[in-house]
Structure 1
Amino acid sequence: MGSIKTLFSFYILFIPIAGIGQDKIEDPGARTWSHSDGRKIKAGIVDVVDKNVILKAPNGKSGPVELAKLSKEDQEYIAKWLQNNAAPKGFGKPDTIIEITTLKGEMKYNKPIITVYPGKKIKLILRNQDDMHHNLAITKPGKGKDMKVAQEAWKLGVDGFAKHWIPKHPDLLFGSKMADPHSSSTLYFTAPKRTGQYPYVCTLPGHAQVMRGTMIVSKEVNPLSELTFTLFKGSWKKIPDWNQIEPSGTDHVPSGKFDLSCTKEKDSFGIVFRGNIEVPKSGDYIFTVSSDDGSRLLIDRKIVIDHDGIHGDSPKSGKVKLEKGSHHIEVQYFEGSGEESLYVGWKMPGSKKETPLSVNRRPSGGNSPSGQLLVAEEEARIYRNFIQGAGSRAIGVGYPGGLNLAYDANNMRIAMLWLGDFIDAKRHWNGRGQGYQPPAGESVINGPPGVPFATINDSNESWPDSFIRKENAQLPPIKEGYLFKGYKLTGEERIPTFRYTFGALSIEDMPSPQGSYESSDITFNRSIKIKGKPVKNLYFRAAVGQSIELTDNDTYLIDDNTALTFKSEGKPVIREIEGKKELLIPIKFGNDSALIEQTINWQ
């Protein structure tokens, strides 16, 4: 790098971009550089490596220039750039590099959504092509926390510029240095281990109301980026030529996936989604579109699926060979009247699993796996029978919104939680009805085995064994002193609260789901009320796993797939016993009662 030949070749790349037509090329954060031989170069910094600066022209071409060959003013600019962009000592090589550009004169980021994998090292480059200063601050999840951080920044007053308008605030996770106009700032951080939606915002005074976005931390990293939608109004029986129709509006898709909810139209409308899809490896990819009414999917502007016309919700698939890297994707859709639906998914080369690219999952077409799928609509649906993983006295509960659980009445425990379809009852409702039925949905979280409460007098004392009720047995598990007392239904949705006794203690366990299967914000809240005289060394076993880790926000990550938080007088304890880890909550009584509030999230 930096040889005369390389440097000369680099200049040849940049000579044509000076002057004519340059105002039509998007500014990548460029400035004019002065070389010792008198030449001028319009380019932006990509990186500084050894004794070279890597510059990138507005036409996308890049190359190295020796630092020593640049003017003193340029070298001072590079020194300041390094202060804003150098990686922290010991950070190492980033797992993911993300670029976010400010839109000139619009007070917006070009990416309202980015997606990162939990625990990965991230290099986030903020390229500021605006005439104003900007920064980027990432906050903890929660409505309004980004504005709280921004409002705290505004209090910095005259100290704001010196502190890059990044305040000290408990809801702030990461903050970039301020990017000068037509420059950049790089933020290095390790993504949170807890999945969820983390807002990001520009905290300079007055910017936060419009200059914001969301970082999604997910194990299923969204391959879509730069996804926009253009809305059209009209009545058609076939997909029209969209270029001949005046659009009603266009914008980024807030969810970052194919999503009809970005428009409030119900009938007589069309929508065209355009964006990029990152292909992880070369090979044959199978795309599927299911729609009501017509739809069409294009990759690199070539039709892969043509599912045109007026029809009910039905799927159609197409195969395309793709090289590794970024490809343009476009989905066209129109709705005549009646129901409207759109699903898009793809299968990787050699994979049988279809991954949704849309907010909604693939519809079942009105048929469950064997035809008798139970559905919770206005209120909770309860199914008492043999459920695989929950024992012979299982109580299945399907909640409105596609959240489900199975309660094990042998051991007074929540045996499983899952998403999507509830249960297929055909096995038990037809014929002799024998055997155990598994959940019909997906994303199953298994609860800890065995009974929920026990007295532990020594840290090496094992948790009591599970109680397996023998056939025709009528007695409760005498060793643990448990007796199931049934459940009561509360509220308009008739949510069950499970009731049982443990010795002289009366216990009520009320799980309460929040959110829906179609949303990305799904939570199970659980309230466990205990009444009776205090019991010494009483513990609640909240989790068992190979890995239990305390992360930020007092959240416990179980085997990297479940996140638990608690409100309780007793501080949770992690112990290792018999080759596994356990999460125990000591029960602290007050006025002959105790309360555990637990939140369960999918990862």
Structure 2
Amino acid sequence: MRVKYLLFFILMNTTFSEEKGASPADPGARTWSHIDGRKIKAGIVDANSLEVTLRAPNGRIGSISMKDLGKEDQNYVKKWLQNNAKPKSFGDPDRIIEITTLKGEMKYNKPVITVYPGKKIKLILRNNDDMHHNLAITKRGKGKDLKVAQEAWKLGAEGFAKHWIPDHPDLLFSTKMADPHSSATLYFTAPKKTGKYPYVCTLPGHAQVMRGTMIVSKEINPLSELTFTSFKGSWKKIPDWNKIEPTGTDHVPSGKFDLSCSKEKDNFGLVFRGNIEAPKSGDYIFTLSSDDGSRLLIDRKVVVDLDGIHGVTSKSGKVKLEKGLHHIEVQYFEASGGEELYVGWRLPGSKKETALSVNKGPSGGNSPSGQLLIVDDETRIYRNFIEGAGPRAIGVGYPGGINIAYDANNMRIALIWQGDFIDAKRHWNGRGQGFQPPSGQAIISGTPGVPFAVINSPKDPWPKTYLRKDNAQLPPLKDGYFFKGYQLSGKSRMPTFNYNFGQLKIIDKPTPKGEADSSEASLIRTITLTGEGKDNLYFRAAIGESIELVEENTFLINDFAAMNLKSDGKPVLRDMGGNKELLVPIKFINKSATITQTISWQ
């Protein structure tokens, strides 16, 4: 018998090699029988008509010939192949995603997955439950997953034969039904339009709780198959984890390095393992910031070592990576007191560091460990360095979970986002700690540069700068911008921004509508200009790689944001510098002009 088929012997003697990027446990494990009577618990990794590759609960991989399996196991593999067959024309997937069912809970282990538009995806549903399950992905829109599930329930006696997958116009992709402790694989190409696509188990009674969201975004999380193993103990430096009994292991729900995976507050350790996708070849810089010790490894080689007991300390390391998937591991331990873990990376040629952890930035030596600003019934203002909005940024967190960042240097709304407002820890002891990114999600970037300009025709380029006065004690320049502050009004104390453009007085009033994550979530921005009108004055409403007119005065921008414009001037869509630009000519009536701009998520 060839060495590769000594699966049962290898498993029993624990000499399996750990697969690169493998999970530490296979939730789809079942008991397999060799024809000589030996048995082992393992789950399928891959199979064909000649052999099957299995993964033991400890994560070790091995193969066995189909002819060495019992008849029941052979039939099981044949059915598995039917549920996991790859379409002939599909080719190699760009990304592999595993979703596990949680035993006895009727839930997926990943409530959110993120994919890049137009990429080929291999999605493996590993059913760890004693019940049958499937996974169906629907079109964007609130409640479409439940509509598909309700249609599935009407299948009645035909349900099992059809894998509880109905013929419904809102259904995009679906796995076949996965038997208990088995798996089903779905191959599909992600939609080109960004947004939130629900997924759901359509078996009767499952859809109310067994649901999730596939986010199609160009800002994709490079981490995949991220798992954690937790430990309990007291250490002064990172121990040999192989010599310590773990207290638990699972997939990381957030998909990022996250200390909340441990239930302990002191004297605990965490080891995260998964894959990270390098979008191009080159030198990558990884940063660790932790309290207490931490270590980062790429392809099992140490890149950053921040061991020992200490307060919040940061350290970076450089590694050359080829384009594609690489194994990543982060080890961490906490002794006592405050705990913190930040992991970030910088792509080749980029000055921007992106967080790979739930913690979105190192707090610095004397700062508190996390100062998320909570918005209750009253609008919250945060004036500081905000990433994407500049050094004179004014962050506004509205009740209901919609937020903006206003750039007072350029009189523009620089960012709009949903969810959490902002973490103030970076600037807790001053303003010199760098730029803080928003803490929420679904970030819409505003139009760069100044909002208004005088150009001879819509074909002329937009001015790069306009002179302005930063000192409020000095009068505005003749044709420059001059920020005059903001006023808070109403029960929720929402800000209205004021500035001059030359002799024109401009009032910019943003108002949120709906709750975050609802279909009504949007920002209504009313801009009023008063004074002597300027000839050939335009408002630049949007810039994007793609801007498409979808209905009268409503435009889809980068397949992510929708913008409706109301004014006395007809919007002009033009090509400029490789991008699309949306301009609005300003028409004054009785020395006044108004633009209403409604921005929403798609």
Give the TM-score taking structure 2 as reference length: 0.61
CA deviations over 1:239-260 (Å, ceiling 9, x no partner): 7898999987665432122223
| 2:185 alignment partner AA | T
Q: Select which of 562, 566, 570 maps to 1:565.
A: 562
Aligned to 1:295: 293
Q: Write the mapping of 1:112-511 to structure 2, written as runs, cut at 5 A.
A: 114-128=113-127, 132-139=131-138, 150=149, 153-167=152-166, 173-181=172-180, 184-193=183-192, 199-208=198-207, 211-212=210-211, 215=214, 217-218=216-217, 219-228=219-228, 230=230, 232=232, 251-262=250-261, 268=266, 270-278=268-276, 280=278, 288-292=287-291, 294-297=292-295, 299=297, 305-309=305-309, 311-316=310-315, 327=327, 329-334=329-334, 336-337=336-337, 339-346=338-345, 355-363=354-362, 365=364, 379-381=380-382, 396-399=393-396, 404-407=405-408, 413-414=412-413, 440-441=435-436, 445=445, 447=447, 449=449, 451=451, 461-462=458-459, 468=466, 487-490=486-489, 495-498=494-497, 508-510=508-510
Q: Secondary structure at the match of 1:204?
A: coil
Counterparts in 2 of 1:576 and 1:91: CA distance versus 1, 3 Å: farther
Amino acid at match of 2:509: D
Shift of 1:581: 1.9
In 2, are the aligned partners of 1:542 and 1:585 still within 8 Å (CA)?
yes
Shift of 1:333: 2.4
Judged with a 3 Å threshold, the aligned counterparts in structure 2 of structure 1 residues 491 and 228 are, in CA distance, closer, same or farther, namely farther
1:219-245, CA deviations, whole angstroms, 9 ceiling, x for partnerless residues? 34333523225375x888777898999
Contact 1:454 1:463 (C-alpha < 8 Å) held by counterparts:
no
Q: Aligned to 1:404, what secondary structure does the other structure show? A: strand
Quote the residue 2:19 is aligned against: none
Equivalent AA in structure 1 for residue 295 of structure 2: L
Partner SS for 1:133: coil
Q: In structure 2, do the counterparts of structure 1 residues 360 and 579 end up closer, same or farther at CA, with 3 Å as the change threshold?
A: closer
User: For the aligned residues, what is the CA RMSD?
Assistant: 6.5
8 Å Cα contact 1:407-1:415 kept in structure 2:
no
TM-score, scaled relative to structure 1: 0.61
* Residue in structure 2 matched with residue 526 of structure 1 by the alignment: 523
Q: After superposition, what is the alpha-carbon deviation per residue over 1:180-228, rounded to whole angstroms, capped at 9, x for unaligned? A: 4565433222224466665543222244466555545453433352322
Count of equivalent residues: 528
User: CA separation in 1, counterparts of 2:374 and 2:11?
Assistant: 64
Q: Is the Cα–Cα contact under 8 Å of residues 405 and 416 in structure 1 kept in the other structure? A: yes
Determine the C-alpha separation between the residues in 2 that align with 1:283 and 1:395. 34
Q: Which residue identity does 2:381 align to in structure 1?
A: A
Deviations 1:535-577 (A, max 9, x none): xxx99643124443689xx98343x8xx322356799885546
Larger Rg: 1
Please list the CA deviations of residues 492-550 of structure 1 after superposition, one character each: whole Å capped at 9, or x if unmatched: 8854223589999986431669999xxx99x9953123689xxxxx9964312444368
Q: CA deviation at 1:134?
A: 1.9
Native 8 Å contact 2:5 2:64 kept in 1? no
Give 1:43-122 correspondences, 5 Å limit: 46=46, 55-57=52-54, 60-62=61-63, 84-86=83-85, 91-100=90-99, 102=101, 109=108, 114-122=113-121
- Which residue of 1 is the match for residue 600 of structure 2? 599
Structure 2 Cα separation of the partners of residues 301 and 354 of structure 1: 22
Distance 1:446 1:217 in 2: 20
- For the residues of structure 1 that align with 2:406 and 2:209, how far apart are their CA atoms? 40
| Preserved contact between residue 262 and residue 270 of structure 2 (Cα < 8 Å) | no
For residues 86-140 of structure 1, what are the alpha-carbon distances to aligned partners after superposition, in whole Å with 9 as ceiling and x for unaligned? 5568655432233445567775656666443332111223355655432112356
Contact 2:476 2:500 in 1 (8 A): no
Change over 3 Å in CA distance of 1:200–1:231 after alignment to 2: farther
Change (3 A) 1:100 1:524: closer
Structure 2 CA distance for aligned equivalents of residues 396 and 11 of structure 1: 61
Give yes or no for contact 1:26–1:58 (8 Å, CA) kept in 2.
no
User: Per-residue deviation at 1:598?
Assistant: 0.7
Displacement of 1:332 in angstroms is 2.5
* Residues 16 and 329 of structure 1, relative CA distance in 2, 3 Å threshold: same
TM-aligned CA deviation for residue 475 of structure 1:
7.9
